[in-house]
Amino acid sequence: MFKFISLNLKKGIEKIKDNPQLIYTIFIAILITGSFIFMSEKFIGIAQTAEERLINVRIGSLQDAFVSFAGEKMNDPAYLNQKIRDVITTNETIKNFKIVVKQNLSTTTQYVIIASNDYSEIGLSDSQDSFLYTISSSDPTNSITTPLQGNGERLFETSRAIMSSTSEVLGVAFTTQTLSMADVAINSDINNSRILLFVVIILVLILFLRHSKIIDYMDLYKKLKEIDQMKDDFISMASHELRTPLTVIRGYAEFVSAAPELSAETKDYVSKIDISTKDLDSLVADILDVSRIEQGRMKFEMVKLNPNELIDGVVASLVLPAKEKALSVTFDKSKVEGDQFIQVDAGRLKQVLINIVGNAVKYTNKGEIVVRQYTENSRLYIRISDTGIGMTEEERINLFSKFYRIRNDETKDIRGTGLGLWITARMIKEMGGRISVESIKGVGSHFVISFPTIK
């Protein structure tokens, strides 16, 4: 057991050393419990004093009432005893009620009890109260209260002079009152507040444990971020390094294919090398773009631009691949209204359009691809429509996710990485634009991108 505690204590100290912010948590935990203890002790103290004052004030007024008639009945102890008994039965806090008179004998002075709720003490001398008797006689209009030494019980004695009609002190009424009943109630409150304190301590401990768990998660998160960063750095470095040998391979493949003495078979092999290196090259380019976007390293040089010419260029560059599939690619300018400008990075917008129009060519087997430009509600729209294979609603859900490719019989022979649309969507967003898609399976697709127009 001791070993277990010391081991965990050591672990805890190590953890605090590694995470100094835990000191702050411990400080808060101690502060919360400490203030709770302090406040409850303070409230208990206030409650006890208030209770004391209340009881003593009540006894004071009771004595006031009693002495107002007692002065005339000092010669009738039976009457006084009866009244004392009445008072005692209706006031549970009064333990003793007696009336003492001072008798001056020839040599000494005696203090004798003439009435009491305790019959056995009637007639006995009461020298222990002589001091209070003297004080009360000198201040006959007030009740005087002093604490008594009780056996673990809080006791108070209150005295009040009894006067004759001629303001002569005839005797003193003494009451002894106990606060035990109030104390029982207060003690039960103390117990309740201790239970509450215990609950608070447990809660604070749970909070503390949770906090230290969160610190563990924070460490884990930091490590994960570091690993993620390492992964990104590796991808970025590897893609860069791959580009150089790829360019060399492509260069040599081109060089070899131009040689006149090659057989048709060798020419076919070389062209396959060329196609594969092109694929590999575009994959590497995509991965590089992904890592740039994810690391926030992709630069955008935003300029004011009328995209007309740029669209023309993109369409022209794709006419040949489209022709190979007997497709037409055109830029329908019928809805272009004069000079319209947007704020974009020209190179990135070109990349976006090549990807979307390129996909339209890739995923269309017959018909046409039309690019349109128009303005609506201060936005410039570029709509790329094809008469291709289209997509179902379900297939469109993850269209802009990384590595997402629709896999079916129509797409199984078409090469791609599934990164193009993710990169496209991210670049459009970075430039403050929007992209959406409408598509009907077997009919075709419309990709629409838009940017706010500027003056």
E strand or H helix at 4: helix 2-18
Q: How far is the CB of 370 from ligand ADP (least distance, A)?
A: 12
- Only one residue has tokens 């009780």, namely 150
**399/427 with CB nearer ligand ADP:** 399
Q: How far is the CB of 420 from ligand ADP (least distance, A)?
A: 3
Q: How far is the CB of 434 from ligand ADP (least distance, A)?
A: 17
**Segment 29 to 58, residues that bind ligand ADP, using CB under 6 A:** none
Site string for ligand ADP, 90-109 (x = CB under 6 A): --------------------
**178/424 with CB nearer ligand ADP:** 424
Q: How far apart are CA 248 and CA 268, in angstroms?
A: 19
**154/396 with CB nearer ligand ADP:** 396
Q: How far is the CB of 334 from ligand ADP (least distance, A)?
A: 22
Site string for ligand ADP, 306-335 (x = CB under 6 A): ------------------------------
- Only one residue has tokens 């078409």, namely 414
Collapsed DSSP state (helix, strand, coil) of residue 180? helix
Among 158, 363, 449, 450, binds ligand ADP (CB under 6 A): 363
E strand or H helix at 341: strand 341-344
Q: How far apart are CA 149 and CA 147, in angstroms?
A: 7
**148/397 with CB nearer ligand ADP:** 397
**34/442 with CB nearer ligand ADP:** 442
Among 67, 327, 360, 431, binds ligand ADP (CB under 6 A): 360
Please report how many Cα atoms fall inside a 13 Å half-sphere around the Cα of residue 229, on the Cβ side: 6
Torsion angle, alpha carbons of 445, 278, 273, 242, to 10? -140
Q: How far is the CB of 405 from ligand ADP (least distance, A)?
A: 4
Among 291, 359, 387, 450, binds ligand ADP (CB under 6 A): 359
- Only one residue has tokens 């010419």, namely 309
Q: How far apart are CA 84 and CA 112, in angstroms?
A: 17
Is residue 159 within the footprint of ligand ADP (CB under 6 A)?
A: no
Q: How far is the CB of 433 from ligand ADP (least distance, A)?
A: 17
Q: Are the C-beta atoms of residues 434 and 450 closer than 8 Å to each other?
A: yes
Collapsed DSSP state (helix, strand, coil) of residue 325? coil
Q: How far is the CB of 360 from ligand ADP (least distance, A)?
A: 5
Beta bridge partners of residue 350, listed in sequence order: none
**95/383 with CB nearer ligand ADP:** 383
Beta bridge partners of residue 110, listed in sequence order: 103
**289/345 with CB nearer ligand ADP:** 289
Q: Are the C-beta atoms of residues 274 and 252 closer than 8 Å to each other?
A: no
Query: Looking at 149-157, 206-214, 248-256, 356-364, which segment touches ligand ADP (CB under 6 A)?
Result: 356-364
Which residue pairs from 57-63 have beta carbons closer than 8 angstroms and sit at least 24 positions apart in sequence?
59/91, 59/93, 59/94, 59/143, 59/145, 59/156, 59/158, 59/175, 59/177, 60/143, 60/145, 60/158, 60/160, 62/87, 62/91, 62/175, 63/143, 63/158, 63/160, 63/173, 63/175
Please report how many Cα atoms fall inside a 13 Å half-sphere around the Cα of residue 209, on the Cβ side: 5
**67/290 with CB nearer ligand ADP:** 290
Q: How far is the CB of 274 from ligand ADP (least distance, A)?
A: 19
User: Two tokens at 127?
Assistant: 């020298």
**Segment 386 to 445, residues that bind ligand ADP, using CB under 6 A:** 386, 388-391, 399, 404-406, 411, 416-421, 445
Q: How far is the CB of 367 from ligand ADP (least distance, A)?
A: 12
Q: Could you tell me how many residues of this chain bind ligand ADP (CB under 6 A)?
A: 20
Q: How far is the CB of 251 from ligand ADP (least distance, A)?
A: 25
User: Two tokens at 203?
Assistant: 């809660």
Q: Are the C-beta atoms of residues 144 and 136 closer than 8 Å to each other?
A: yes
Site string for ligand ADP, 218-247 (x = CB under 6 A): ------------------------------
Q: How far is the CB of 228 from ligand ADP (least distance, A)?
A: 23
> Of all residues in this chain, which one has the CB nearest to ligand ADP in the complex?
416
Binding site for ligand ADP (CB under 6 A): 359-360, 363, 386, 388-391, 399, 404-406, 411, 416-421, 445
